[in-house]
Amino acid sequence: MSKPLNILVVEDDVSFALELEMIIEELGHKLLGNLDNYDAAVAAISEKHPDLILMDIHIRGQLDGTRIAEAINDLFIPIIFITASKAKENYIAAKSTNIFAYMVKPIQTFELERTIELVLLQKENFLKTLSKDVLFLKKGDAYHKVAVQDILFIKSEGNYCTLYLKNDHKFMNRVPLASMESLFKSAEFIRPHRSYLVNVKEIDTVHFSDSYLKIREHNIPITRSTKAAFMEKYMLLK
């Protein structure tokens, strides 16, 4: 089995939510919780950053599952919509999500397992289609173009990430640091510490004895394992 996933369930049918919980456990994944309404779900997603969401379209309250998907679309979290309705309009609404799959109740364990595999592959392929040279970052009501080469480093701060740029501007977004790292796999970025992702080309000095590296006026911690990887990858002349 591949790495266990942290899965969040959004479902207002208690009996079906319990059924999903048992299937998730049987497949070897971890249940982060079950929510039944828009506000609770969006708050939990922002706080816990699940690997996958199993979500009913029709949930408690006026705002349904597709509205949750719209609210978190920039987080690139795969969503499997599971609904009792076969109405075409539900499927059309679900398609507005970047990464999704659609299942109709009742479901079988093997069907969900197969669908999880497919939606994870869909995420992998989706991330490959994104430009590795340019990002569009939201600030206020507008999206600003930022060249990846202009990023000094990214710092994880609670449920957000802050991007520090060469021009001294900062952008805060809700994308988890692990997802940012996935976007920059082909670029010269390393993760010296669980809270930082840095542009290697912008490193000024590395202080192994004091366990930090310096980018301009910023001191960024570096772990022992990263030290070893850094020394192996880059040429250090004495």
101 vs 165: CA distance, rounded Å? 36
Judge contact between 164 and 170, C-beta under 8 A: yes
Distances (CA, A) of 2 to 27, 113, 117, 168, 231: 10, 11, 10, 41, 30
| Domains defined for the chain, CATH in brackets | 6-129 (3.40.50.2300), 134-233 (2.40.50.1020)
pLDDT reading at 161 higher than 60: yes
* Ramachandran bin of 7, using left for φ above 0, alpha for ψ from -120 to 50, beta for the remaining angles: beta
pLDDT reading at 94 higher than 70: no
| Residue 99: pLDDT band with limits 50, 70, 90 | low
52-55 and 100-104 strand pairing? unpaired
Residue 9's pLDDT is what?
97
Max Cα-Cα span within the chain: 69
Question: Sign of the CA dihedral 43, 46, 52, 58?
Answer: positive
Q: What is the pTM of this model?
A: 0.65
The highest-confidence range among 102-106, 150-154, 188-192, by mean pLDDT, is 150-154
* Ramachandran bin of 124, using left for φ above 0, alpha for ψ from -120 to 50, beta for the remaining angles: alpha
Judge contact between 198 and 167, C-beta under 8 A: no
Task: Identify the helix (H) or strand (E) that includes residue 158.
Answer: none
Per-residue pLDDT tens over the stretch 20-67: 999 999 999 999 999 999 999 999 998 888 999 999 988 999 888 888
Paired residues of 193 in beta bridges: 196
Residue 237's pLDDT is what?
61
178 vs 211: CA distance, rounded Å? 22
Per-residue pLDDT tens over the stretch 177-212: 887 887 776 668 889 999 999 999 999 999 988 999
| Residue 96: pLDDT band with limits 50, 70, 90 | low
Between 185 and 121, the more confident residue is 121
